[in-house]
Amino acid sequence: MPKDMAQNTTIFTRRESEARSYCRGMNAVFTRASGSEMFDAEGNRYIDFLAGCSSLNYGHNDADMKAALVEHISADGIAHGLDFHSDTKAAFLSAYEEKILKPRGMDYKVMMTGPTGTNAVEAAIKLARKVTGRKNVISFTNGFHGMTMGALALTGNKGKRGGAGGGSLADVTHMPFEGALGDNVDSLEMIDAMLSNPSSGIDAPAAFIFEPIQGEGGLNAASDAWMQGIEKIARKHGALLIVDDIQAGCGRSGSFFSFEASGIKPDMVTQAKSLSGFGLPFAALLIAPEHDIWKPAEHNGTFRGNTHAFVTARVAIEKFWSDDKFEKSLAEKAVVLTTALKDVADLIDGATLKGRGLMQGVDVGSGELAGAICARAYELGLVIETSGAHDEIVKYLAPLTTSEEVMREGFDILLQATRDVTGNMKLAAE
């Protein structure tokens, strides 16, 4: 069944910038979506193992959020309110306080940054520099934090950095993430050694920023011990600890925050992607109260505090995080996921599993192979993407709400795609 035949895409090639990307390989014209399924203009169905890069952790068009949003809009609820007080913002903040912060013993101020992850990251590093009076921020190999200049300076990816066109990406030191130098090198020891040597040339850091599970960088999951080690080094050297939980947060790791099990207490946490619950643009920066030294509007933005997102985010919190049922379901699904990915890995020599929770994937050894598998899966009706420095990882990011039935349907496609591609490769090699 050939997908997207007769779907007219000339308007995109004619008018949309060359910067567009996902639509090149997966060129259906999508029209509607529900839960873990997407449909194109011809009615073809796709299982979604990408979920807006983890922006749709609760699936497409969740019925409860949809109802609340439609009701809000129909009643002339505020659509855009700058950072004015609103009933919807109050309700979101109250839910966030009651269901997210309090049960975890957390005390953070919530900063409504511009509604993109990169904006929350920019706010975090600006604030860390203000608080400490230092400039240097330490980020990590394979880290991805955004595409605006401040966040891009933190990001490791060479291609992304090249987009700066030679503009200065200064005031950042890139250090090896856990395991980045192989099993024999303890990156914690190395980092502490560099910072402890007064002649290392590494200026005293304002902050460390890392993703507990690196999303774009290849599903590298930091161990609890490593996160604790970074926290300890940060404290020792007078630096703030910033966790970028944009992709791994909101349940993706198995808990609301991806660092909960580690016991670390970040000074700041960035949130975006699935924070709205519905895929709406929304980001926030959690700030330990003692560091909340912003002057009014010192970092601002027109769309900070997306009111529609307040509505859906509140529903998402109340629906999924009022008790531990959802979290328990995630643990169960993670086991299913691991088992399924092992089956995929078994088809490929040397393939290994990466990640944790509902953020796992298979390192198939090359970007070429991973790309071919994802392309074949798409032909078979599964939306799935690669990640990693060499795009060598087939990454599972399906909605957390995906039923086991749909999960298995998707895995079957993935297995078939893998068999098709590896089979073809063997044939080609013979």
Residues 174-193 that bind a second copy (CB under 8 A): 174, 176, 180-182, 184-185, 189-190, 193
- In 3D, which of 155, 125, 106, 139 has the Cα closest to residue 208? 139
Binding mask 240-279 for a second copy (x = CB under 8 A): ------x-------------------------xx----xx
The distance of closest approach from Cβ of residue 376 to a second copy in the complex, given in angstroms and rounded to an integer, is 18
Residue from 3, 135, 237, 265 touching a second copy (CB under 8 A): that is 135
The distance of closest approach from Cβ of residue 184 to a second copy in the complex, given in angstroms and rounded to an integer, is 8
Considering only CA atoms, give the Rg of the chain.
22
The distance of closest approach from Cβ of residue 237 to a second copy in the complex, given in angstroms and rounded to an integer, is 12
Residues 378-417 that bind a second copy (CB under 8 A): 388-390
The residue assigned the tokens 């890392």 is 210
Please say which residue, 383 or 413, places its beta carbon nearer to a second copy. 383
The distance of closest approach from Cβ of residue 41 to a second copy in the complex, given in angstroms and rounded to an integer, is 6
Distance CA 408, CA 337 (A): 9
Residue from 2, 6, 17, 426 touching a second copy (CB under 8 A): that is 17
Residue 380 one-letter amino acid: L
Distant-in-sequence, close-in-space partners of 428: CB < 8 Å, separation ≥ 6:
none
Residues 100-129 that bind a second copy (CB under 8 A): 109-112, 114-119, 122-123, 125-129
Residues 54-73 that bind a second copy (CB under 8 A): 55-56, 60-61, 66, 69-70, 73
CB 370 within 8 A of CB 386: yes
Alpha helices (H) along 237-324: 307-320
Does 210 interact with a second copy (rule: CB under 8 A)?
Answer: no
CB 270 within 8 A of CB 242: yes
Binding mask 316-355 for a second copy (x = CB under 8 A): ----------------------------------------
Please say which residue, 34 or 352, places its beta carbon nearer to a second copy. 34
Distance CA 300, CA 114 (A): 7
Structure tokens at 40: 């194109």
Residues 144-173 that bind a second copy (CB under 8 A): 146-151, 153-173
Residues 282-321 that bind a second copy (CB under 8 A): 285, 287, 292-303, 306, 308
- Count of residues making up the chain: 430
45 membership: H or E segment, kind and range: strand 45-48
One-character DSSP codes across 237-255: TT-EEEEE-TTTTTTTTSS
